[in-house]
Amino acid sequence: MINETLQKLLIVDESENNRIAIKNILQDEYEFVEAASIEEAINTIERCTIDVVLADLKFISQLKDNDKILQIPLIAMVDSSDVDAGAIAIESGAFEVIAKPLNQTLVSYRIHNVIKHFKDAESVQILKDKQIIEMHKYVEMDALTGLINRETFYKRAAALMQVNIETKYYIIYFDISCFKAINDLFHIETGNLILRTAANYFRTVIDPKVGLCSRIEADHFIICVPQDKIDIEKLIIGLDVTVQALGIGHNILFYAGIYPVNNPSLPVDQMCDRANMALRKIKGNYMNRYAYYDAGMRELMLQDQMIVRDMETALQENQFSIFLQPIYDIKRNTINSAEALVRWFHPINGMISPGKFIPVFERNGFIVKTDRFVWEEVCKFIQRQREETGEVTPVSVNVSRLNFYNLDLLEFLLGLLERYELESWMLKLEITESAYMDNSHQLMSIIKVFREEGFPVLMDDFGSGYSSLNMLKNLPVDVLKVDMAFVRELEESERAYMILKFIMNLAKDLGMDVIVEGVETKKQLDYLVHLGADKIQGYYFSKPLPVPEFKKLLKENKICK
């Protein structure tokens, strides 16, 4: 009976005696199969699994032509009297050579070694294949969450939409609010846990047969799903609940920007950009957790691109200039001061409003250069005005929060005063309320230094953000500029009136001045007078004016209303 575990050795030799001799030498180490011709040998190789072939030299090259032999170790038997035979055998493709007459021990060892070597090589190949598969996975996957990565998403989403050309898809871009803060406040593992939990959630709600989900970077996820297979409201609530269930105790909110795909041939990265554009519109807004892309957003994006492209040239070519809006002291009936507001006169697009370019500059950091330009223009104006009239009207300038990251901020301001021979009370610094929230400790100490140097500090847009009234007590500011929204609501809302009244009283108790901005009508002004407001800025009195016009107004120095 043949032992099942024995390896099969094929002996290819015309001489039966030779074949018998081999069988005698190896005896029961192998299961033997014999062939007396090349045809017989090939036939056998193709029919059954052979572990090793021992063939007379004359068959080697023919055997080597057969594809199957590539995976089987081939040993040539050569005549020991022929000195070249060994080399010829190896050249012809034999893996090993044994000499006739056969030496029992040597033959046995050689065959063993050859088989072992082949097995090892085979396992190395299997390992390599496995590694290649793993590598492919690695290249396609995000290691943290196991979701597919950005490139894979782009490829697969394009393929998915191409195959299901009739299906209407959404590309949805997700982002977590304050994720950076979570990473800072807690351990990085907490952040990772949130990301993995979100990934698992996506995996369970998006049927992989119809949709895709991916983590494309940091805390940004993207999904591609048929529109009729998803309820966005439910999806976001489910996501919030799942992540909140981790009990991290921080308000972790997901926001989503949605691009309904109406042109499946658009590159997927551009679809994602559009979804991201929609997302940017609502990020940080507690009420709106998702938004849809519309064509207007694309216009905005193109406009932003134009702004970024042209900003440096604009500064070099003097396309920026300052306008001054008077701030009136209605009790004294004079112009108390002015606010400098930047204007951009673009050679092709005409005047661009700061509402359009300031947010872009704040995102890309160019605001620091712009602000410094404005401050210098203001200093030039004050200096010239003093030379011409002998009088000084203080001007307040906007100091965007990004300036506070520059260590030479104070030095720069003091340098300006020196260059234009001004004093610090002439240049007032407006810092928007939200900046106090961002970076309160550091900011407070910088503001303290400004005030010690004699710069009046104004808190701009007060009441527009989240600052509590209690916080006011600790704020080292000289003036509150009440946000326009209050004035707008004054006529309709009793509440706005009450809050404003409270603010005015509180400011008075704390020894702060109040400027009310955005006053457009006589009625609003009357309310404000009733509340005791005395410093007013708004269209009712004057819009921001080009410097020559402002000078003219100063000369007349009267309230025309």
Interface contacts to ligand C2E, rule CB under 6 A: 325, 341-342, 353-355, 358, 367, 371, 374, 398, 400, 460-461, 517-520, 537-539, 544
User: Residue 31 or 520: which CB sits closer to ligand C2E?
Assistant: 520
**105 interacts with, out of Ca ion, ligand C2E, none, CB within 5 to 8 A per kind:** none
- Count CB neighbours of 510 within 10 A: 12
Amino acid at residue number 486:
F
User: Residue 420 or 462: which CB sits closer to ligand C2E?
Assistant: 462
Token pair of 450 as six digits: 């400004």
User: Residue 341 or 443: which CB sits closer to ligand C2E?
Assistant: 341
**257 interacts with, out of ligand C2E, Ca ion, none, CB within 5 to 8 A per kind:** none
User: Residue 235 or 553: which CB sits closer to ligand C2E?
Assistant: 553
Give the whole-angstrom CA distance, residue 260 versus residue 248.
33
Amino acid at residue number 449:
V
CB of 385 to ligand C2E, least distance (A): 19
CB of 379 to Ca ion, least distance (A): 17
**374 interacts with, out of ligand C2E, Ca ion, none, CB within 5 to 8 A per kind:** ligand C2E
**297 interacts with, out of Ca ion, ligand C2E, none, CB within 5 to 8 A per kind:** none
- Residues 393-412 interacting with Ca ion (rule: CB under 5 A): 398
Candidates 461, 467, 477, 528: give the one binding Ca ion (CB under 5 A).
Answer: 461
Give Cα 74 distance to the centre of its chain: 57
Candidates 430, 540, 542, 553: give the one binding Ca ion (CB under 5 A).
Answer: 430
CB of 544 to ligand C2E, least distance (A): 5
**342 interacts with, out of Ca ion, ligand C2E, none, CB within 5 to 8 A per kind:** ligand C2E
CB of 342 to ligand C2E, least distance (A): 4
CB of 291 to ligand C2E, least distance (A): 23
User: Residue 294 or 520: which CB sits closer to Ca ion?
Assistant: 520
CB of 301 to ligand C2E, least distance (A): 20
The residue among 69, 119, 117, 116 whose CA lies nearest residue 94 is: 69
User: Residue 336 or 398: which CB sits closer to Ca ion?
Assistant: 398
Stretch that binds Ca ion, among 221-229, 253-261, 434-442, 457-465 (CB under 5 A): 457-465
What are the CA-CA distances from residue 46 to residues 40, 73, 76 (Å)?
10, 15, 19
Alpha helices in 342-473 (DSSP H): 354-364, 367-389, 409-419, 433-438, 440-452
Give the whole-angstrom CA distance, residue 462 versus residue 479.
10
User: Residue 175 or 460: which CB sits closer to Ca ion?
Assistant: 460
Q: Is 478 in the site for Ca ion (CB under 5 A)?
A: no
User: Residue 456 or 544: which CB sits closer to ligand C2E?
Assistant: 544
Q: Is 433 in the site for Ca ion (CB under 5 A)?
A: no
Token pair of 81 as six digits: 């009297």
The residue among 301, 198, 300, 314 whose CA lies nearest residue 256 is: 198
Cis-peptide, bond into residue 101, ω within 30° of zero: yes
The residue among 306, 336, 302, 300 whose CA lies nearest residue 319 is: 306
**358 interacts with, out of ligand C2E, Ca ion, none, CB within 5 to 8 A per kind:** ligand C2E
User: Residue 13 or 339: which CB sits closer to ligand C2E?
Assistant: 339
State whether residue 80 is helix, strand or coil: coil
Rg (CA), the chain: 41
Give Cα 526 distance to the centre of its chain: 49
Q: Is 467 in the site for Ca ion (CB under 5 A)?
A: no
Give the whole-angstrom CA distance, residue 246 versus residue 240.
10
User: Residue 223 or 367: which CB sits closer to ligand C2E?
Assistant: 367
3-class secondary structure per residue, 155-174: HHHHHHHHHCCCCCEEEEEE
CB of 474 to ligand C2E, least distance (A): 23
CB of 136 to Ca ion, least distance (A): 55
Say which residues have a Cβ less than 8 Å from residue 220's Cβ, sequence separation at least 6.
Answer: 173, 174, 175
Amino acid at residue number 320:
F
User: Residue 56 or 461: which CB sits closer to ligand C2E?
Assistant: 461
Give the whole-angstrom CA distance, residue 533 versus residue 86.
110
Site size with Ca ion, rule: CB under 5 A:
4
Backbone angles phi, psi at 543, to 5 degrees: -80, 170
Stretch that binds Ca ion, among 141-149, 404-412, 453-461, 528-536 (CB under 5 A): 453-461
- Count CB neighbours of 117 within 10 A: 13
- Give the β-pairing of 290-292 and 320-329: unpaired
Q: Is 460 in the site for Ca ion (CB under 5 A)?
A: yes
**243 interacts with, out of Ca ion, ligand C2E, none, CB within 5 to 8 A per kind:** none
What are the CA-CA distances from residue 158 to residues 154, 167, 261, 295 (Å)?
6, 13, 11, 21
Residues, the chain, total? 561
Tell me which residues touch Ca ion (CB under 5 A): 398, 430, 460-461
